[in-house]
Amino acid sequence: MSDRRRLTRRHALGLTAGLGLASLAPSFSVPSVASAASAAGAAAYPKGQRPRLLNVLTEDSLSSAERTLATTLQGLLARRGGESLYLNIPSLGYQIWLDDLVSRYGVRTRSGDLWTTVTRSGVDGYVLFRTGTPSVNVATTLSGLTGAVAVEESLEALAIQHGLRKVLDVRDKDDRWVMDNYWPRLRHDVAIEQKGDWPERLRDYVTMAGTLAFFDGNSDFRAEVVDALDDDATVIGWGDASNGEDAFIGVNSTAGVKALPADHARNLSVLSGIREDRLQQRGRLYDPALAGGPAAGARSGAAGAPGNEQSGGGGGRVPEPDPNAHYVTFLITDGDNIQWMLGDFPTDPRWFGSPRRGEVDLGWGISPSLIDLAPSVMRWYYDQSRKDRWVVGPSGGGYMYPSRYPAAALDKHTASLAKAMGRADLSVAQIIDFDAFENTGLWSSYLKRREIDGLIYLEYSRYDGLKGKVVWSEGKPVISARTMLWDGLDGADEASVTAELNAATRNPRSTAGYSVVVWHAWSKSVDNVLAVVDGLDPHVKVVPPDTLVKMVGRYARP
């Protein structure tokens, strides 16, 4: 097994002829895709309408076929707001998000029954599909166009008993048929890549947003779909990573398209219905290095020149560093992963659910898309974070390789990213790329934005291959990881990392006086990080990642 294969980020996660639809529209009133987009206002992603009442269904109480029906119904209801439904998994974060909707946003809930909710909804049509075929994605897509729910053939008789009528039978159709016949009626800024094996995940968002749902491995057809999307469009979900995630992320990047890992996500149609214009990280309020609030203006002058102030993290001066100290920050991998943030990340003791979280400043990655897709979730994390600090996950607004992005698409991407970072009180972004570290012109697209203080660069294989080197663009730093915690890799165990940090340069006026340690989300935990921290000599000082970036930008020389 090659290093690249071992370092695949999610390898250890485990986790036809067309028919016109104009004459087939059911009586249920469904806003058009265009009106739904308009309702989203300045949002970067399609959003549902605010829910007032949620019929709560426990996911494991439903059969596979019922889950598809429920989630396509959920997406339709989210378009009009008011009464909708929520698919709960009480052991994961979904109970937290439901409780938060009730306590903070005044959403009412009641125990739901699927067929009663169908009847109350006013939906009167269904699109018929067959499990085990591509038709589940076809039906999910066309539910968004017809206002009809997706019904698996085993439920057809029951659907008819409840007053539903067949709008389309797509049991013999596939994704190519949808593209050939309905592509002009679908969104081109977002598509959903989802395996047909998963009956409920992301399907509510497909239906709500009016997007294409597809999955075809790493085929020529997949490349056609990605190429047909707008510049800097987003593929939400996850592709076929059996030969490494670069097999499809690379294709996306060349086409100027980013990915949001979210193939296990639920309830995005409901969570996106909450609106938060701006959020503030609680932890940044207590950091003297970041005093002064969000970005106030662009930084000028050469890196490290006296009197310069960073912009994205606030207007306050950075405290004078200890001249005999080495400064280190610990930052988790895979913060772009939406499904993880919604699922077991807040409850699992390996991660944010650790009882030891809060003993030391820790860096976590987060997707800025949450400011639109699930703002209540982002707000909850921020409210829970006094010693936790958040930076943007790879590679900005979504996972892609910047060096492969077309220049115009990259500029569009970073402009949108900067707006989202300003709204979400984020000032640092992680980057994953291949042999692109020295390309300072590439980083200019990011760092010319006043909201962005600096970048943390991870070489695809391996992340710490550049051993802490720093380059400068627009007078701001791009900092590579010095070392990492990663099970099974040479030099990435706790003892090796502790020894390396204790022996590192003590000089905060040099870039060698700072270290970024990335810890692998799937093989290491908060306990592993604290094992390193407990072994550090007194001169090694732990700071949050955005503080370290600000200090490098203010004080360090190459």
CB proximity list for 389: less than 8 A, separation 6 or greater: 281, 283, 284, 287, 361, 362, 363, 364, 544, 545, 546, 547
Residue 23 has pLDDT above 80, yes or no: no
- The overall average pLDDT reported for the chain is 89
CA dihedral 245, 251, 254, 258 (to 10 degrees): -60
Q: Mean pLDDT, to the nearest integer, of 180-192?
A: 98
| 261 domain residue, yes or no | yes
Q: Residue 548 and residue 329: Cα distance in Å, rounded?
A: 7
Domain enclosing residue 94, as ranges: 51-272
The answer to whether the CB of 472 falls within 8 A of the CB of 478 is: yes
Clarify whether residues 257 and 390 are in a common domain: no
Higher pLDDT, 517 or 314: 517
Taking the chain, what is the end-to-end CA distance rounded to the nearest angstrom? 36
Q: Residue 477 and residue 468: Cα distance in Å, rounded?
A: 12
β-strand partners of 391 = 365
Q: Residue 58 and residue 46: Cα distance in Å, rounded?
A: 26
Clarify whether residues 241 and 343 are in a common domain: no
CB proximity list for 448: less than 8 A, separation 6 or greater: 474
Q: Residue 396 and residue 421: Cα distance in Å, rounded?
A: 9
| 44 domain residue, yes or no | no
Q: Total domain count for the chain?
A: 2
Q: Which helix (H) or strand (E) holds 259?
A: strand 257-261
Give the distance between the most distant pair of CA atoms in the chain. Answer: 77
Clarify whether residues 372 and 488 are in a common domain: yes
Clarify whether residues 258 and 337 are in a common domain: no
Q: Residue 442 and residue 232: Cα distance in Å, rounded?
A: 16
* Among 400, 397, 391, residue whose Cα is nearest residue 330: 391
pLDDT band at residue 67 using 50, 70 and 90 as cut-offs: very high
Tell me which of 211, 244, 272 is where a domain ends: 272
Which two three-digit tokens encode residue 414?
């970073």
The CATH number of the domain holding residue 456 is 3.20.20.490
Clarify whether residues 370 and 256 are in a common domain: no
**SS3 per residue for 319-346:** CCCCCCCEEEEEEECCCCCHHHHHCCCC
Q: Mean pLDDT, to the nearest integer, of 208-223?
A: 98
| 299 domain residue, yes or no | no
| 11 domain residue, yes or no | no
Name the pTM for this structure. 0.90
| 309 domain residue, yes or no | no
- SS3 of 260, please? strand
Residue 306 has pLDDT above 80, yes or no: no
* Segment 433-448, tens digit of pLDDT: 999 999 999 999 999 9
Clarify whether residues 386 and 476 are in a common domain: yes
| 427 domain residue, yes or no | yes
Residue 482 has pLDDT above 60, yes or no: yes
Clarify whether residues 223 and 337 are in a common domain: no
Higher pLDDT, 16 or 41: 41
- SS3 of 358, please? coil
Clarify whether residues 133 and 264 are in a common domain: yes
| 283 domain residue, yes or no | no
Segments in 24-124 forming alpha helices (H): 33-39, 64-80, 93-105, 114-121
| 36 domain residue, yes or no | no
Q: Which range is least confidently modeled, 234-243, 279-288, 536-545?
A: 279-288
Q: Which range is least confidently modeled, 27-36, 262-271, 385-394, 503-512?
A: 27-36
Segments in 375-461 forming alpha helices (H): 375-383, 407-423, 440-447
Q: What's the burial of 17, exposed, middle or buried (CB within 10 Å: 0-12/13-18/19+)?
A: exposed
